[in-house]
Chain A
Amino acid sequence: MKYTFCPPKYKKLAKSSLIVLYTMVLFLSSCIDEPDNPQIPGVETSQIAAVRDWFETNKTKLRLPERGSNFRTESQELILPFFEKEPDWDKFHHYYFPDGREVFETSLENATKYYPSEMSEIFVGENPADFMIQNIMFVRHETLDQFNVVIARYYPGDNESKANFDEISYNAIPVLWNGKLELFTYDERFFVGFQFEDGKIEFSYTRAVYEGDKKHSQEAMDVRCVTNYYPVGYQVCVGENCHKVIERYVSEENCFGSDGGSPSYVYSGSGSGSGVRDPATDGGGSTCSSCYDPPELPEPKLTISLDKSIKENARARCIVSKLALSSFVNEMAEFTDAEGATSNSILKLASLPSDINGQVENINGIHQISINSGILNRPDLLIARTILHEMVHAEIYRALKSNGITPLDDDFAYNFDSYVFLRTRGDSGPQHHAYMAEQLLGKMGAALMEIHKTQFPEDYQKFNQYMNYTKGIPLDFYKNLFWEGLEGTKAFDIMSQMPGTTMGKSPFENYKEDIGNAKNLMTKPCGN
């Protein structure tokens, strides 16, 4: 049986209508631009509005909390003058990182701009601020309702690479683009830079301040700014090759060309500047090293909240309280009984695999330092050592996030990047341990020695007397205690291969003996 859906007399009309309709759809759809990434403007607008609301609510909290000391002036890292950011919310890119995190990259065009002075040498007679791109990236947190905020600055390396906002973004570098892309934290700490050639990353780099010529005259610059600029020397390391560079970052608020002093262009920013100034009275040609008064920024620190498991365990509590009195620990961290917002780390007891004394993991931005509850029957000093070792891991993580400011090492960025990171690509563990073995063993050993002497004096006396050390327990003994867990590092391999002398054992034999003696002989009165 044959079914018909419309009477024969309407068939022709229906066919014609369908043809007309299909043709109209074809015409209409051909008029619509097909973007690279299909977007729904209405949805994106509401999304960027949500980002803006979050930013307006939280922008005062994005900088490190005030704590009194001034690291911005004393640190050995590149930190540019901070300015309040007012993104241009009408201009934004919306994309996703390869790991799935959502990103909104908005323009900071109408704000104070920073660029390296080398741009002035490339683009003679031009104002680099006119064509460099300065954006602010909001990277949505994977689990929390918040964003990580990063400043991205794109510095074209030649005329062909000048681009406007729409043509370049962090996930879309133009083909054949030459130049530099640098990332800064929200409060203007240099994070990492990438050198691009022909649209491809040639290398990444960091900048560590070195003591060099900081008095480069402003006359040498083609762009004379009446505004702030930030003269510093840097050691730029690419791979294992480092070279010194005299550079400065220019803060663009009101600038004039160098052609006879008449203002060829004027840029008014929304930073600390107050509009257009007179180049004559503002001294466009003078050295401007004092123009910038760095804002106060607190010394970053580990703030370790003590978990209930620590507070309620007499031994753990006792050992932590003694550690807190050590000057080494005090410089690096402070312990608090309070839980929550103010701490960036938590110390707790946990049931861990028996081959691990302690562990550090990052959960939602908080360093969770876990001490194996199974090791509490060990001597006090060895538990203190384990807590110290894990705290240093947490501090390394914190320092890496804070662009290298840490009491552990005045030259952390340089040492970690060029000396350790490049030798141990891959997981964090080998990198941290290599850094500890290469850079921190002496410091950690000395700290443990001080803790032993001052916080566990009875144990120190008994052990010293028993082992019959004539000049007190040597520093090497404490360093040997810290070798445990650092096996597999290059430094450990070198140490373990060193031969013994005719007078004594090899360093490896001493290490074995010391670590065994500590475990088998030292006492555990704390909290017992």
Chain B
Amino acid sequence: MWKLILFTSILAGQFSHVNQRKILFVVIDDCEKWDRGSYRPGTSHFSYTRKGREFPLISFGHAWIDEADQLTTDRSTYSDILKSDYVFTSDLSLDEWYELGNDPDRRIFLLPPEDYCSAKRFVYNYQFTVYEVRVHVSASGNDLAPLEIPIAPIPAVDTLRRKKNN
């Protein structure tokens, strides 16, 4: 019997790993630095894009064009968010942004700036809506390694000149 229990629990563990990716809450706390964009009218789809010309370009999108890629929403209190894995956008370093943009193993839920930077945060047990999002962080242009050029360099004319025969 104990073997059956052990096997069942291992199996359950395996499946729960598949179905439940880790969740990270991203709180946009530097509220004035983000632009909200909307997609099609009549949908709840939206995006947040970091303002200005600073690189990398960063955007969050809660939108999809294929039902298979549908993103979810959830509800959570601020204190519950703080008990989970969470980050504030103002705290993220460049490397952490890139890591966030390239992490396939985590589902990211966003607490929008309109909610965070409002009095709702101080209402006891207020249930925020958090939105599952995709993140885009633009890549850098450092994609060429130093090159070995198998060609002759410019002659070293200052080193080994010979005297001219006159």
Contacts and interface: CB of A to CB of B under 8 A. Distances in A.
B40 A516 contact: no
Contact of A173 (B69, B98, B161): B161
A45 interface: no
A167 B162 CA distance: 7
Main secondary structure of the interface of B (DSSP, over half): loop
Interface string A469-499: 0000000000000001111100000001000
Nearest to A468: B40
A484 B138 contact: yes
Give the interface size bracket for B toward A: 35 or more
B148 A173 contact: no
Contacts of A139: 150, 152
Interface in A501-528: 508, 512-513, 515-517, 519-524
B141 A433 contact: yes
- Which of A142, A168, A389, A519 counts the most B-chain CB atoms under 10 A from its CB? A519
Interface in A352-393: 353-365, 372, 374-377, 389-390, 393
- Which of A37, A163, A521 counts the most B-chain CB atoms under 10 A from its CB? A521
B11 interface: no
Contacts, number: 189
A199 B157 contact: yes
A496 B53 contact: yes
B144 A432 contact: yes
Interface residues of A, number: 87
A36 B152 contact: no
A356 B101 CA distance: 11
Given A172-B162, A174-B162, A484-B138, A183 B152 contact: yes
Contact of B66 (A194, A365, A432, A523): A523
Contacts of A508: 53
Contacts of A177: 164
Contact of B145 (A148, A362, A365, A377): A362
B141 A486 contact: yes
A488 B40 CA distance: 33
Given A171-B159, A172-B162, A354-B101, A488 B61 contact: no
Given A174-B164, A354-B95, A512-B59, A487 B141 contact: yes
Sorted from nearest, which 8 A-B pairs have the closest CB atoms? A520-B61, A361-B145, A516-B59, A519-B136, A377-B104, A354-B98, A429-B144, A462-B65
Given A150-B152, A487-B55, A496-B53, 9 more contacts: A174-B164, A204-B154, A364-B148, A428-B144, A465-B65, A513-B49, A517-B61, A519-B59, A522-B65
